[in-house]
């Protein structure tokens, strides 16, 4: 009997290893850097205004507290294929800093221009993952004004790239605490092509309400991807296997009811907000083992009446999965 014990232990170890391989990642860590300097272009100086820089660092966990999962009606872990098929809940935490500047820089505010503004905040989110649909709820807590550190961050960037300082930060948007909530749904439709290729489309809508932003957004995209056998990732919860390589084209329309970062805290304080803002993007990315990188080129329509044209910027995202 003793001679069979090592064999049984070996078989058990192999079974456990195979079971672990069938599980998805337990978390995904991501960092994002966005800047109009990152937009691929020919000659010429990049447009250093409007949404001029953004930095994000976050973690998405494949699980949620059992009490939260019960409230949202799903399993408390999304790592197993069976849990995602029946409905499961995952959570996330994101730290964000956004920087905005007017198109015309000056020591004194220019009438009709958006204010110099920054937002620094934390977002806590929960996502219910089910076949073809993800429902998300997030709470955003942050601050504007000098506590957002936007002026310091932009001045450091300008010193790094050896460009002149922005002149108007002394009359930036006033410091104020912000609180908001967001809810959204994303639906995925996928068709497998030859080999490992797939064509997928997403339709999404979301609504945000708070003292800094109130808006409703709708949009969609089409993605052509090459997929491998990489395990499910919380970074792309709607896909059974994250893509090895992909190209994506997307559009979005925002109906903006309130935006302190455009019109200021008081009516007539800064720019006149446009009620509808369109946005388009082209993205591409690649994955190697548990590492993924994505680049996006974004064109966002004018957000206020004095803005004559849309604003382009580029975005890099690095994601690392943990098991």
Three-state SS at 121: strand
Taking residues 130-158, what's their average pLDDT?
92
In the predicted model, is pLDDT for residue 40 greater than 70? yes
Using a 10 angstrom Cβ sphere, with 0-12 exposed, 13-18 middle and 19 or more buried, the burial of residue 218 is: middle
Among the residues of the chain, which ranges form H helices? 4-22, 66-72, 81-86, 150-161, 260-263
String of DSSP letters for 57-87: EEEEESB--HHHHHHHTSBSB--SHHHHHH-
- Which pLDDT score, from 0 to 100, does residue 50 have? 93
> Of the candidates 289, 281, 322, which has an alpha carbon nearest to the alpha carbon of residue 62?
322
CA angle 272/277/281 to nearest 5° reads 140
Three-state SS at 286: strand
- Which pLDDT score, from 0 to 100, does residue 158 have? 73
String of DSSP letters for 158-191: HHHHT-PPPS-GGGPPPP-EEEEEEEEEEEEEEE
In the predicted model, is pLDDT for residue 209 greater than 90? yes
- pLDDT over 70 percentage in the chain: 90
The pLDDT tens digits of the residues spanning 214-254 come to 999 999 999 999 988 899 999 999 999 999 999 999 999 99
The pLDDT tens digits of the residues spanning 275-287 come to 999 999 999 999 9
- For the domain covering 23-322, report its CATH number: 2.40.128.140
- Which pLDDT score, from 0 to 100, does residue 11 have? 45
**Distance in angstroms between the alpha carbons of the first and the last residue of the chain:** 36
Domain ranges within the chain, ordered by starting residue:
23-322
- Which pLDDT score, from 0 to 100, does residue 162 have? 67
- Whether the CB-CB separation of 46 and 36 falls below 8 Å is answered with yes
């Amino acid at each position: 009997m003793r001679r069979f014990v090592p064999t049984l232990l070996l078989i058990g170890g192999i079974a456990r290893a195979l079971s672990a391989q069938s599980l998805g990642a337990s978390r995904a860590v991501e960092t994002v850097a966005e800047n109009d300097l990152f937009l691929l272009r020919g000659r010429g100086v990049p447009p250093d205004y409007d949404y001029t820089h953004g930095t994000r660092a976050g973690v998405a966990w494949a699980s949620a507290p059992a009490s939260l999962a019960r409230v949202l009606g799903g399993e408390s872990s999304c790592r197993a294929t069976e849990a995602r098929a029946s409905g499961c809940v995952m959570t996330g935490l994101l730290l964000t800093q956004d920087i905005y500047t007017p198109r015309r820089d000056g020591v004194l505010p220019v009438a009709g221009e958006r204010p110099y503004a920054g937002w620094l905040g934390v977002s806590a989110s929960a996502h219910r993952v089910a076949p073809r649909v993800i429902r998300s709820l997030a709470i955003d807590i942050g601050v504007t004004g000098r506590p957002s550190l936007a002026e310091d961050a932009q001045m450091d960037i300008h010193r790094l790239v050896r460009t002149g300082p922005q002149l108007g930060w002394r009359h930036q948007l006033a410091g104020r605490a912000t609180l908001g909530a967001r809810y959204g749904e994303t639906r995925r439709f996928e068709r497998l092509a030859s080999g490992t290729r797939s064509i997928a489309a997403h339709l999404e809508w979301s609504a945000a309400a708070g003292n800094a932003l109130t808006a409703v957004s709708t949009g969609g995209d089409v993605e052509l991807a090459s997929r491998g056998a990489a395990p499910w990732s919380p970074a792309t919860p709607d896909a059974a296997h994250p893509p090895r390589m992909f190209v994506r084209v997307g559009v979005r329309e925002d109906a903006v009811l309130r935006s302190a970062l455009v019109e200021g805290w008081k009516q007539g304080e800064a720019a006149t907000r446009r009620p509808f803002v369109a946005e388009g993007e082209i993205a591409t990315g690649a994955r190697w083992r548990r590492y993924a990188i994505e680049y996006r080129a974004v064109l966002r329509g004018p957000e206020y009446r004095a803005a004559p044209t849309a604003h382009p910027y580029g975005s890099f995202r690095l994601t690392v999965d943990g098991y």
